Structure 1
């Protein structure tokens, strides 16, 4: 077993270093003999025990992040994306995103996981948006927007912005006062925080979210109602 793991580690490192030169890397990973994709998942799952208590080493985090980067090519490829989502593989990232340790190894893993979801949201596909809503990515991102590092907050806000850009995503957020309140409160708290620690990049995504909310009449009504309640 150790010999097999060593072979896979060498293989993954080689593929990761040369991933930019492979035009059809995603189908190769997904349909390969021996299922390299499954081995990549195993690489990710193998670090779970180090999440709690927080003992994750920089080396283990780097290996998991490399595996995520390779799986990201499968997630965003038009020929493998549907099967990838049907397998609900992005759920494997949630244990990483729910960690709270401020150690660099954990932050590296959180940011990479958020980047993975951001790459999915960036493809501008309604089916992807529906999937992200189904697995409740928005509540997760809203929490990170309030507690994460600046980089984590930026990527999380970008994901929410991309989901909202799709009509299905906007309707989801504005469907009930509760959903809207959660999003509006997260954005409002970020504006307050940005007055103390400015970030042009983060502010840009927050403004884009606010502008998109104005496209739904229900959001405008709820905004005034919530303002009145706060007063």
Structure 2
């Protein structure tokens, strides 16, 4: 299979990690050069289009993707490569319902998703990735209800791709996501996922809210606001039993951003969880001054001056 975007010297028969003229490795020799690393990456990308070699190529590229600086453009511009990755995704749709996903299937498709995350993260390919509507192929994975490990791994890795898109503040990314079902899908994960997938899903909602377009979207109707508020409220209650300072940080930041909207702020005066007001999370936030400051700002905005006991030891009053 020809790939005009790759060097003519590469062929399907080239040995792994070696291109023409590549120096032979020797004991105690210098580490592989950048050219040799890219030759290795190019060969593995070629292998993705060979069904017999694809599984190993997915594994090797996903493990080594941080070593290859230009892997994302290489993946995007190589003939047939993105189609091969989408083929991996579509192949497991039938085992999503009823849930029959095996660990091996989950690992393989998650390796493909890791490569798509690489494309979503790169400045040269992010918008091309978006304009091709590739995130939509991941949404069935976020709509699953199984809590088994293979499904949770799949859910978390899919969220990682969306998280890579929103990590760089870009209204065009937010606009695209809001035109899809990403908010309900994230809320679903925030209710039933593991702590880690809940954290990533809440981060995505937080990043959407931090964009003015996202805040306006959530606060345009009471239904949208209360859908988000209900899930955040439920999560706060769950964290009282199983604390997670990392997850709590994103929840509080979501509430604080909602308070920037006058209508939402009025609503929060009546529906902000009591556990955020009464000092329940003092111990959880003891080592996190940023989140403590956000919480005090939130409570001040909605009309609660302080959390009992939280100021002790150079707390909010010292920081504000």
1:102/1:225 Cα in 2 relative to 1: closer, same or farther (>3 Å)? closer
CA apart distance, 1:53: 2.0
Name the CA distance, whole Å, in 2 between partners of 1:99 and 1:175: 28
* Matching of residues 32-181 of structure 1 within 5 Å: 32-33=78-79, 35-181=80-226
CA apart distance, 1:5: 1.0
CA contact (8 A) 1:181 1:226 kept: no
CA contact (8 A) 2:126 2:165 kept: no
1:204 alignment counterpart: 249
Name the CA distance, whole Å, in 1 between partners of 2:247 and 2:153: 19
CA contact (8 A) 2:259 2:268 kept: no
CA apart distance, 1:15: 2.1
CA apart distance, 1:76: 1.9
Match of 1:215, SS?
Answer: coil
CA contact (8 A) 1:44 1:64 kept: yes
User: Deviations along 1:53-112, whole A, 9 cap, x unmatched?
Assistant: 222111111110010010111112121112211111111111111111122111110111
Name the CA distance, whole Å, in 2 between partners of 1:26 and 1:176: 39
CA contact (8 A) 2:165 2:173 kept: yes
Is 1:26 aligned with 2:72? Answer: yes
Name the CA distance, whole Å, in 2 between partners of 1:17 and 1:139: 31
CA contact (8 A) 1:177 1:222 kept: no
Which TM-score applies when normalising by structure 1?
Answer: 0.91
Name the CA distance, whole Å, in 1 between partners of 2:118 and 2:83: 14
Question: When you count helix as a share of all residues, which structure comes out higher?
Answer: 1
1:13 alignment counterpart: 59
Larger radius of gyration: 2
Which TM-score applies when normalising by structure 2?
Answer: 0.67
2:310 alignment counterpart: none
Name the CA distance, whole Å, in 1 between partners of 2:229 and 2:190: 12
How many residue pairs are counted as aligned between the two chains? Answer: 224
CA apart distance, 1:218: 2.1
Name the CA distance, whole Å, in 1 between partners of 2:193 and 2:57: 33
Name the CA distance, whole Å, in 2 between partners of 1:20 and 1:221: 46
